A = this chain, B = another copy of it.
Amino acid sequence: MKKTETRIQKKNQSAIKAAGLKVFSQFGFRGSTLDQIATEAGLSKPNILYYFSSKEAIYEALLAQLLTDWLQPVRDIDPEGEPVEEILNYAKHKMKMSRLYPRESRLYANEIIQGAPRIKSVLTCELRDVVKSLAQLINNWSEAGLIRVIDPYHLIFSIWAMTQHYADFDVQVQAILGEGDHFNDAEQYLEDMLRRMLTV
């Protein structure tokens, strides 16, 4: 269908998305302007609207991409694997994403804080189902005596909260710990915490 995609199209579309990510993640949807995005992308405003039909279209393209990347690692957890290591790997993966893609994390945080007006349906469907599966798996592991009995949902929330915190609240972390990369220490702490929570 849409096999035809010029190199210019590819280049500019990704430039716009990169700029949009930067701006939206900092100011949220309503706080961001097309002018900012255009400047950031090095394009004129009407030129941006040549590639995306509206400001909202850029935002939604970013969110859609984000949700895909967000859910995959949860699906990748192997029910046949060693439980503690599977959960730890997932947590480490999330921590790595916070380190490498803090803007994506903040974009998502902005959307959720504002009540998730554009992705609420995704939350109550895809996300809910995926998490439900994982919770069931964790419960099975608990019943099999492979990990300690634990509330799977709040376990998952605690992993999300602690990993995303270092991306979303980066300024605060830096203000307290000084400037630098604190993700290694954070990962160490989280790993220690999870081992204590999971081992019988």
Q: Chain A: residues with CB nearer than 8 A to chain B?
A: 25-32, 106, 109-110, 112-116, 120, 123-124, 127-128, 131-132, 151, 153-155, 157-158, 160-162, 164-166, 168-169, 171-173, 175-177, 185-186, 188-190, 192-193, 196-197
Contact among B132, B162, B172 with A112 in the assembled complex (CB-CB below 8 Å): B172
As for how many copies of this chain the complex holds, the number is 2
Report how far A124 CA is from B178 CA in the complex, Å.
9
5 contacts between A and B (CB under 8 A): A27-B28, A27-B30, A120-B171, A128-B176, A157-B166
Residue of B nearest to A163 (CB): B161
Instruction: Give every chain B residue within 8 A of A120 (Cβ-Cβ).
Output: 171, 175
Contact A112 B171 (CB under 8 A): yes
Contact among B25, B113, B190, B197 with A110 in the assembled complex (CB-CB below 8 Å): B113
Residue of B nearest to A194 (CB): B193
Report how far A28 CA is from B113 CA in the complex, Å.
10
**Nearest chain B CB to A88's CB is how many angstroms away?**
16
**Nearest chain B CB to A43's CB is how many angstroms away?**
22
Contact A185 B115 (CB under 8 A): no
Contact among B28, B151, B166, B175 with A189 in the assembled complex (CB-CB below 8 Å): B151
Instruction: Give every chain B residue within 8 A of A29 (Cβ-Cβ).
Output: 31
Contact A175 B123 (CB under 8 A): yes
Contact B189 A177 (CB under 8 A): no
Contact B176 A113 (CB under 8 A): no
Contacts A109-B168, A132-B176, A158-B189 supplied; 9 other A-B pairs, CB < 8 Å: A27-B30, A27-B31, A112-B171, A113-B168, A116-B172, A116-B175, A154-B185, A154-B186, A160-B169
Instruction: Give every chain B residue within 8 A of A114 (Cβ-Cβ).
Output: 26-28, 31
Residue of B nearest to A165 (CB): B161
Contact among B32, B123, B132, B154 with A172 in the assembled complex (CB-CB below 8 Å): B123
Report how far A188 CA is from B151 CA in the complex, Å.
10
